[in-house]
Structure 1
Amino acid sequence: MFKQIATKEEDGFEWFDLSQPQNEELQQVAARFKLHEASVHDCLQADHLPKYEKVNGYSFIIFRIYAEQQELEADTVQELTDKIAIFYSADYIITIHRLDQSLITELADALRLYKCKTTGQLLNMLIKSCLSTYDKPSAKIAKAIDYYEENVFLRSRKVSLLKALYYLRRKIDLVRRMLILSYDIIDNVDTEDGGNVNTRDTRDLYIKLQNVYDSLYDNINQLLNAYFSTSSQRTNETMRVLTIFSVFFMPLTFIVGIYGMNFRFMPELDWKYGYPTVMLVMIAITIAIYFWFKKKGWL
């Protein structure tokens, strides 16, 4: 769908938005604004990473925003993020995206309210809105980390912790990479025409999000290490209990093995008090092992 949101007569510049563009529509726009073939090709790549480049009198930006709808176990670039391509010059801005994006609709509805006089101001607001899509998910991920941390240390078996932690770590790592790759976009938006208070605000938001996701990444790694440590500790505890039981039964099994051989000439076999004596000896050995373990602090 092709629509014009801003006009030169009313706003001083033109803003065209293409949602789910057909190849013919894209070629018409490319011919009208003399867009480079390589830039148009990049628009069609669904998994293209963030980039900023200047081509023949215009700037070309690809920004990836946090997807509004995604699967619970999403862990790839296409599943976690949506791509927005932006062609920008002093006279026009063209936004191209595969899915309808609420941030584009909200910005278009409030365009006159924001009183954008130049495409630079609109571009800054657009990039800031794109960055803001990562803000709410960071709080949600932080709550998820707290939840899994509680389950790790309280030894809850209600969820598959390792699987959930894996997908959470993948999600954080992917967002961090998207933010790192978006640095050139933020830097060029802020330094173009000397920058201003609004572009500095966008850079501050970028730095804040970068620090938040770096912190979340460190937290999830520490939580994974804690998970493996507690799992190892539980395994060691189980092995300790089994070892204690085996130590109790080893001498008893040895005695039973001897008298279970049934050789013909074994005087204890015909002795009247043989059975109770052996039982008393086995009980005494068990009690001796118990107090030995108590003394060592193993029980």
Structure 2
Amino acid sequence: MVQILAEKSNHPFEWLDVTDPEPDELHQIARKYNLHESSVNDCLQPDHLPKYEIVGSEGDVFIIFRLHTSEVDSQADTVRELTDKISIFMKDDRIITIHKKEWPQVEQIKNEYLHSENCKSTRHILNEIVKTGLATYDIHAARLNREIELSETNMFLKNRKLSLLEGLYYLKRKVDVTRRILILTFEIVDKIDSEEGNTYTRDTRDLYVKLHNIYDSLFENTSHLLNIYFSLSSQRTNEIIRVLTIFSVFFMPLTFIVGVYGMNFEFMPELKMKFGYPGVMLLMAAITGGIYYWFKKRGWL
């Protein structure tokens, strides 16, 4: 679907928004507006990472920007599952945005910014696209932070089940993939904020820096949680082994005594003693008591 959001009759530029184009339709648009072939091919790649480049002899700007998708599956961990791609072709008098999914922010820009006095060029539109796109990462950063806090609560106050480890894995993958997308988006933000003293582009850079720090913190927190999970699991395993070791220490001498008197030799005087059986039982009880006292004295029980 092709939608004209701004016309030159009302603005100094033209803004064309294209949603879910077929390859033939996209190539028709490319021929009509003289778009570079390599950039068009990049538009057709759903997993393409963010980039900023100047193509063609006329110095056209081509940008691939990824914003965070609105609905994220609990096991989503890839670039395509976590983000939506927007391809942007920009000249001084024209901007073309191409995207696969519906893009709610475009209506916000159209209604709140396009007709304002601050919107005077395609660079202003580009800055607003990037700013509203970065804001989608801020929304999901808060959601990821809540998931980390919930995982931390379950880890320390409830049973550490396999489902918790699986949840931590997908949580770490979400943070890691989103963080890498933001790192690659830096070039776009840096190119936009190339003019000193521009308050609007500086706000976009400040938002980017804030998000970069947030996702760095989330990445560290998820990594620490995983390390804590494995440390607690090792501690629990060590505790189980300690208990089993204590039991084995109690039964080792008793098993030895039973093994000695269980041998079927003909000449074993103790077997014919009147108080042989109670004597052995008392010996075993004494050994058990001695081991218990020794463990207690050393603080192992």
Note whether the superposition's TM-score is higher than 0.5. yes
Alpha carbons 2:114, 2:125 under 8 Å: kept: no
Q: Structure 1 residues 121-130 or 97-106, which shifts more?
A: 97-106
How far apart in 2 are the matches of 1:171 and 1:61? 23
**TM-score, structure 1 normalization:** 0.96
**Correspondent of 2:200 among 193, 198, 201:** 198
- Which residue of structure 2 aligns with residue 133 of structure 1? 136
Q: CA deviation at 1:159?
A: 6.3
Note if 1:178 corresponds to 2:202: no
Quote how far apart the aligned CAs of 1:112 are: 4.1
Counterpart residue identity of residue 27, structure 2? Q
Cα distance in 1 for partners of 2:187, 2:35 equals 21
2:77 maps to: 75
SS at match of 1:16: strand
**Structure 2 counterpart of 1:148, one-letter code:** S
* Compared CA separation, residues 140 and 187, structure 1 to 2 (3 A): same
1:65 to 54, 63, 67: 67
Q: Quote the residue 1:50 is aligned against.
A: 50
User: In structure 2, the residue corresponding to 1:128 is in which secondary structure?
Assistant: helix
2:157 corresponds to which residue? 154
2:249 to 244, 247, 253: 247
Partner of residue 118 from structure 1, selected from 117, 121, 127: 121
Cα distance in 2 for partners of 1:151, 1:90 equals 54
User: What secondary structure sits across from 1:83 in the alignment?
Assistant: strand
**Alpha-carbon contact 1:189-1:195 (below 8 Å) kept:** no
Output the TM-score relative to the length of structure 2. Answer: 0.95
Q: Matched residues in 1 for 2:186 and 2:10: separation?
A: 33
Decide whether the 8 Å contact of 1:2 with 1:16 is kept in 2: yes
State the Cα deviation string for residues 95-140 of structure 1 (Å, max 9, x = none).
Answer: 0001111112322233445342211111110110111110011111
**What amino acid maps onto 1:287 in structure 2?**
G
| Contact 1:2–1:25 under 8 Å retained in 2 | no
| Structure 1 pair 49–195 and aligned structure 2 pair: CA distance change class (3 A) | farther
Match of 1:109 in 2: 111
**TM-aligned CA deviation for residue 157 of structure 1:** 3.8
For 1:264 and 1:156, the matched residues in 2 are separated by 56
Tell me, in whole angstroms, the C-alpha distance in 2 between the residues paired with 1:171 and 1:49.
15
Deviation at 1:261, TM superposition (A): 1.1
CA distance in 2, matches of 1:112, 1:231: 55
CA distance in 2, matches of 1:75, 1:112: 35
In structure 1, what is the equivalent of residue 212 of structure 2? 210
Match of 2:8, as an amino acid? K
Aligned residue number for residue 171 of structure 2: 168
Tell me what 2:145 maps to.
142
Which sections of structure 1, spanning at least 5 residues, go unmatched?
none
CA 1:150–1:222 in structure 2 vs 1: closer, same or farther (change >3 Å)? same
Question: What is the CA distance between 1:70 and its match in structure 2?
Answer: 2.8
Q: What is the aligned-residue RMSD (CA, Å)?
A: 1.4
Which 10-residue stretch deviates more, 86-95 or 204-213?
A: 86-95
Distance (Å, rounded) in 1 between the aligned partners of 2:196 and 2:278: 99
Select which of 266, 273, 296 maps to 1:264: 266
Could you tell me which residue of structure 1 aligns to residue 300 of structure 2?
Answer: 298
Separation of aligned partners in 2, 1:223 and 1:136: 22
Q: Does 1:33 align with 2:33?
A: yes
In the alignment of these two chains, the number of paired residues is 298
2:280 to 266, 278, 281: 278
Q: How big is each residue's C-alpha offset from its partner over 1:135-193, in whole Å with a ceiling of 9 and x where there is no partner?
A: 011111111111111222224246612111111111111111101101110011111x5
Q: State the secondary structure of the residue aligned to 1:108.
A: helix
Q: Is the 8 A contact 1:6 1:14 kept in 2?
A: yes
Query: How many Å separate the matches in 1 of 2:12 and 2:196?
Result: 21
Which amino acid in the other structure matches residue 128 of structure 1? K
For residues 197 and 191 of structure 2, the distance between their equivalents in structure 1, rounded to whole angstroms, comes to 9
2:8 pairs with 1:5: no
| 1:248 aligned partner, one-letter code | F
Residues of 1 paired with 2:44 and 2:255: CA distance?
74
Counterpart in 1 of 2:22? 22
